[in-house]
Chain A
């Protein structure tokens, strides 16, 4: 076919991975459209399990500025970090084409730093989402009292897979599944990047005579960035 076996197989793997993420995001779209949207002005918005929340009202916090509403700023920063680490990755690939070991080492290291920073940001975002904003929401729940399933109303702060303060339970579940699945891709990407960095430093690719492994893992890393572009739009913006 004129393309190397390894690159071809990486492309086909990424295609199958794209189907998985499409499945998650399209199901999100389906479930979301089946829930009522919030009717009224955005300023009057409050959390309720009755309607799908406005994402920018949920994700409006950044570290060290507790209580200051800064909608989407933190996810914006995260997007920027991932784009930057994608750039350093292509620069590593470009250096590999020139057999420039020192430059590959430098750019791979920056890519790893970018990936770890993104993971750190996501850890903070998850913690904030799970712990909650401090203002409780009244949520209807079903519990067993004396062996009978009884409907109760309770005040909820934060979120988990069973109950949450932000909106319908599907909202929190999709948040955990979609950003979690993407975050796990970032995590394994960082591991692969480190492996490539290690092999570069020990001169494996120099002895092999080419840096095609950098290119292949680079494809995976760009794919992770690509998925985030879609998650950013469909989970946070729309």
Chain B
């Protein structure tokens, strides 16, 4: 058919084994950290230490997702910083709200 000649010539490259292996490693780390969180949820009593541990592990997971899966680590530095620096506002919001929360009367 005539339309076939209009189809572009596509060169399919072979899979990048090293890259794919790395992606599965990141997935393994995410799964393992989630499993660890699950264990901690039952192994430790509620308290500041447990909460801090959860927050820390969450930041580890978020870091892997943003830097590896979303590829931010390998983007140009301008993009990297223009995403990261505005996150200061989130930190500000967190500090401001928690500070206000501590001053609030306890609700029934």
Are B79 and A222 in contact, CB atoms less than 8 angstroms apart?
no
* A189 interfacial contact with B, CB 8 Å: no
Q: Is chain A's binding surface mostly helix, strand, loop or mixed?
A: helix
Are B38 and A72 in contact, CB atoms less than 8 angstroms apart?
yes
> In this complex, what residue of A is CB-closest to B55?
A233
Are B58 and A229 in contact, CB atoms less than 8 angstroms apart?
yes
Q: How far is the CA of A94 from the CA of B74 in the complex (A)?
A: 14
Known pairs A1-B79, A87-B27; A98 contacts B16 (CB<8 A): yes
Among B46, B65, B87, the most chain A Cβ lie within 10 Å of the Cβ of: B65
Known pairs A36-B106, A225-B65, A230-B62; A237 contacts B13 (CB<8 A): no
Min CB–CB distance B93 → chain A (angstroms): 6
Query: How many residue pairs, one in A and one in B, have C-beta atoms under 8 Å apart?
Result: 146
Are A238 and B54 in contact, CB atoms less than 8 angstroms apart?
yes
> In this complex, what residue of A is CB-closest to B104?
A34
A contacts with B, residue count (CB < 8 A): 62
Q: How far is the CA of A215 from the CA of B71 in the complex (A)?
A: 10
| CB-defined contacts of B16 to chain A, threshold 8 Å | 94, 98
Q: How far is the CA of A223 from the CA of B54 in the complex (A)?
A: 20
Known pairs A34-B101, A90-B69; A99 contacts B27 (CB<8 A): no
Contact of B12 among A22, A56, A99, A230 (CB under 8 A): A99
Contact of B90 among A22, A97, A99 (CB under 8 A): A22
**A3-47 interface code vs B (CB 8 A; 1 in, 0 out):** 100001001000100110011001101110111100000100000
Are B34 and A83 in contact, CB atoms less than 8 angstroms apart?
yes
Interface residues of chain A, those whose CB is within 8 Å of chain B, are: 1-3, 8, 11, 15, 18-19, 22-23, 26-27, 29-31, 33-36, 42, 50, 54, 56, 71-72, 76, 79-80, 83-84, 86-87, 89-91, 94-95, 97-101, 103, 168, 203, 206-207, 209, 215, 218-219, 222-223, 225-226, 229-230, 232-234, 237-238
Min CB–CB distance A1 → chain B (angstroms): 5
| CB-defined contacts of A215 to chain B, threshold 8 Å | 71
| CB-defined contacts of A218 to chain B, threshold 8 Å | 70
> In this complex, what residue of B is CB-closest to A103?
B15
Are B93 and A26 in contact, CB atoms less than 8 angstroms apart?
yes
Among B61, B102, B104, the most chain A Cβ lie within 10 Å of the Cβ of: B61
| CB-defined contacts of A23 to chain B, threshold 8 Å | 93
Known pairs A1-B76, A11-B79, A11-B83; A229 contacts B62 (CB<8 A): yes
